Structure 1
Amino acid sequence: MTSADILYVGGPTAVIELGGVRLLTDPTFDAPGTYAVGSRALVKTAGPARTATEIAPVDAVLLSHDQHPDNLDTAGRRYLAEAPLALSTASAYDRIGAPVRALPSWDHLELPCPDGGVLRVTAVPALHGPEGSEPLVGEVTGFVLSGEGLPTVYVSGDNASLGVVRTITDRLGPVDLALLFAGAARTPLVPDAPLTLTSRDAAEAARILGARHVVPLHFEHWAHFTEDGPTLAKAFADASLPDRLHLLEPGSSVRL
């Protein structure tokens, strides 16, 4: 089996190289600052480790959702506009248009690998908060990447539900690598529950998925995250899964 290369750019943004195919998750390249979301604001505390111009061209963007600036910001939108393809929700397509392509949950698209074969990208459900929060937070998606001779990779997007993780595992089987959006994000929009996985739930998600490796994303660089890298490390240690966790420094990469 070939390996997967992950470059952590910062926030929810990472480059995945799998079978010679390059994918970028949730493009966010803006500087630190305060960013409006309707009548509210989100505070970005650190910029990306790579600028948009430093990211080589990719074959596709995996966009969990477009409606929040911590998942798609102004510079990210400019990058997205030049991408050959972006896979996301129907809502994102309605708002952005090309190059976004709506990929409903459980549908898939096959991308050709340079050395033959295909990389299958399957859209999977995601719940950006507790049950019933969808009208407030909007539509979100995750992805599972797979192919013959390739590791299976789960990209959670902004999912906070272990029930969703169980459904994905039941339907698509275990994964080799999970990119989990964590950080236990909290905002006044949904004051009583996190909008992304807590550290403890991230460790439990790894167990449910059977993931041999976990690379957390979207757990730092914004003020609305309530848990961080040390919290993740403790949760995985408490779950007797410390060897599965790969906490990357922004700008660093790992081959798994």
Structure 2
Amino acid sequence: MTTFTLRHLGGPTSLITYGGVRLLTDPTFDEPGEHPIGSRVLVKTTGPVLGPDEVGPVDAVLLSHDQHPDNLDRGGREYLATAPLTLTTPSGAERLGGTAQALPNWSHVELAGGVRVTGLPALHGPEGSEAKVGEVTGFLLSADGLPTVYISGDNASLDRVREIAGRLGPVPIAVLFAGAARTPLIDAYLTLESTAAAEAAEILSATDVVPLHFEGWGHFTQGPGTLEEAFAGKPARLHLLKPGAEVSL
């Protein structure tokens, strides 16, 4: 029986159906081009496979953070104005207003059909980088009779993953933002590199892994090939989707 479906729309953006609830992660709908941010410019190299009008109604948007255009671009911000609920960081909810609601770490909200969304700790870079990169969050989806689902957001910390596994137990399905992102801001990975993604899956005892946010932007340093190598021989099944493709578990 299918309990979880994810359609990869490009970058960090995916359309998830879980327990009958439709969720959209980190909406990015702009065409390729340059996105200035502070003293840096992030370059988007591929466009979305669906426009905001083609996504259809969702029950909530799961927004890992609002301060970086590769996770929330101009088109994504416009989309949020139409969404009934956006769950995000406390600082992001304050900046966004509208239907944005803070989801602090370990707190949760109940959606239709008994689906629960829990906020999880995440770190968008090495220890001590919070002041530069800003606040980010991950999410856990759970419901009676369904496998739990971890959505990492832009997390680079395996210690955060260990904390999540220690508190919440095995998580069968892991949606991991990967790509080993790097920018001139910090001389370190800002998201999981491929071997760390494989280690995260083992920490969680995940049986199925769906990577997101590993291509489509110029600041990613690793992609599909390194993910395939890192997961070769590992117990978790790797579902490496091209934009537009879908997996049902």
Q: Is the 8 A contact 1:143 1:155 kept in 2?
A: yes
Number of the residue aligned with 2:37: 37
Shift of 1:242: 6.7
Shift of 1:149: 1.1
Q: Is the 8 A contact 2:209 2:236 kept in 1?
A: no
Number of the residue aligned with 2:240: 247
1:88-167 aligned within 5 A: 88-113=88-113, 118-167=114-163
Q: Is the 8 A contact 1:199 1:231 kept in 2?
A: yes
Moved segments of 4+, more than 4 Å: none
Q: Is the 8 A contact 2:158 2:200 kept in 1?
A: yes
**Structure 2 Cα separation of the partners of residues 175 and 93 of structure 1:** 27
Q: Is the 8 A contact 1:159 1:197 kept in 2?
A: yes
Q: Is the 8 A contact 1:153 1:177 kept in 2?
A: yes
**CA offset digits 1:189-208 (Å, max 9, x no partner):** 012x1000000000000000
Shift of 1:235: 0.6
Shift of 1:221: 0.2
Unaligned runs of 5+ in 2: none
Shift of 1:39: 2.0
- Greater shift after overlay, 240-249 or 17-26? 240-249
Q: Is the 8 A contact 1:169 1:209 kept in 2?
A: yes
Q: Is the 8 A contact 1:2 1:149 kept in 2?
A: no
Shift of 1:58: 0.3
SS in 1 for 2:91: helix
What percentage of residue pairs aligned between the two structures are identical? 65
**Structure 1 Cα separation of the partners of residues 211 and 16 of structure 2:** 13
Correspondence 1:169 to 2:165: yes
Number of the residue aligned with 2:199: 204
**Structure 2 Cα separation of the partners of residues 173 and 98 of structure 1:** 34
Shift of 1:81: 1.0
Shift of 1:244: 1.1
Correspondence 1:181 to 2:177: yes
SS in 1 for 2:71: coil
Q: Which amino acid aligns with 1:15?
A: L
Q: Is the 8 A contact 1:2 1:19 kept in 2?
A: no
Correspondence 1:79 to 2:72: no
Aligned length: 249
Number of the residue aligned with 1:15: 15
Shift of 1:154: 0.3
Q: Is the 8 A contact 2:207 2:235 kept in 1?
A: no
Shift of 1:42: 0.2
**Structure 2 Cα separation of the partners of residues 165 and 81 of structure 1:** 32
1:2–1:123 Cα change, 3 Å: same
Q: Is the 8 A contact 2:202 2:236 kept in 1?
A: no
Number of the residue aligned with 2:55: 55
